[in-house]
């Protein structure tokens, strides 16, 4: 677990989630990032009893990248409010099938099918918006920089698949190619910018790309933040 720590202080624990690892428990009973992080803190600080660690956001099992935990209830409450107020900015990298337009804003309504554990586009769903920038195309695949504006479950995956550009490895949403034994896809929560929940400072974090990410789709050295030119 120690190798996955990106940042740590008295209020926050920021970690790199590998693709294929659950953030929190589900019906499989598999090991989770949350339980690993709690065990790390318990051992590192020799804490008796249960260790508090607030889960303020999630990544899908198949997605890799930055995950932020709150180490106090005060930090958890403030981070939750930051997410609601859209004060936390996240950039994802995604390798998709095909070649989308150079940039775009995707807006849909998304609903969730609990039985199939899958999102779908529906007029009765909730508003979902994202912006993206195509960084490069090679062969029949493209690298995108994606900034979600809303935080719907499986949002990036279903919105890109809807345009016939499913994420590579995402069998659930139309990809025909498996990545890392089917436990991961080429979607990576790459960098996050957020206000510190207690201190007067802005924090910036990046998670390195996972080992199975194809070298030809590494991002350029410098990438600007996407600008949302209108309210979504």
SS (H, E, C) 164-194: CCCECCCHHHCCCCCEHHHCECCEEEEEEEE
Distance CA 212, CA 185 (A): 9
Distance CA 133, CA 228 (A): 11
Beta bridge partners of 107: 129
- Residue 82's H or E segment, with its range, is helix 73-84
Q: What is the pLDDT of residues 8-23, one digit of tens each?
A: 999 999 999 999 999 9
Token pair of 109, please?
A: 């309504």
Residue 190 backbone phi and psi in degrees, to 5: -80, -50
Distance CA 206, CA 222 (A): 13
- For 35, the 3-state DSSP assignment is helix
> What is the third-level CATH fold of 2-211?
Pseudouridine synthase (3.30.2350)
Q: Given pLDDT bands bounded at 50, 70 and 90, which one contains residue 232?
A: very low
Select which of 3, 26, 46, 60 is catalytic. 60
Share of the chain above pLDDT 70, in %: 96
Distance CA 186, CA 217 (A): 10
Distance CA 155, CA 130 (A): 9
Tell me the whole-structure pTM to 2 decimals. 0.93
- Residue 157's H or E segment, with its range, is helix 155-162
β-pairing verdict for 141-148 and 89-97? antiparallel
Higher-confidence position of 31 and 222: 31
**Is 9 marked active-site?**
no
Q: Given pLDDT bands bounded at 50, 70 and 90, which one contains residue 210?
A: very high
User: Quick check: 182 pLDDT over 90?
Assistant: no
Residue 109 backbone phi and psi in degrees, to 5: -115, 130
Distance CA 90, CA 12 (A): 17
């Amino acid at each position: 677990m120690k190798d996955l720590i990106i940042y740590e202080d008295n209020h926050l624990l920021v970690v790199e989630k590998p693709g294929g690892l659950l953030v929190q428990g589900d019906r499989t009973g598999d090991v989770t990032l949350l339980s690993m992080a709690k065990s790390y803190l318990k051992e590192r600080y020799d804490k008796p009893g249960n260790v508090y660690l607030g889960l303020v956001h999630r990544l899908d099992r198949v997605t890799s990248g930055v995950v932020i935990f709150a180490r106090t209830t005060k930090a958890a409450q403030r981070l939750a409010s930051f997410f609601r107020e859209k004060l936390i900015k996240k950039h994802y990298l995604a390798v998709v099938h095909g070649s989308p337009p150079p940039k775009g804003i995707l807006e849909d309504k998304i609903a969730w099918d609990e039985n199939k554990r899958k999102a779908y586009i529906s007029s009765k769903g909730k508003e979902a918006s994202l912006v993206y920038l195509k960084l490069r195309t090679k062969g029949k695949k493209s690298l995108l920089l994606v900034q979600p504006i809303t935080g719907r479950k499986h949002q990036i995956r279903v919105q890109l698949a809807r345009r016939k550009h499913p994420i590579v490895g995402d069998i659930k949403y139309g990809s025909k190619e498996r990545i890392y034994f089917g436990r991961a896809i080429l979607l990576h929560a790459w960098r996050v910018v957020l206000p510190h929940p207690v201190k007067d400072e802005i924090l910036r974090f990046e998670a390195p790309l996972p080992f199975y990410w194809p070298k030809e789709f590494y991002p350029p050295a410098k990438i600007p933040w996407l600008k949302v030119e209108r309210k979504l």
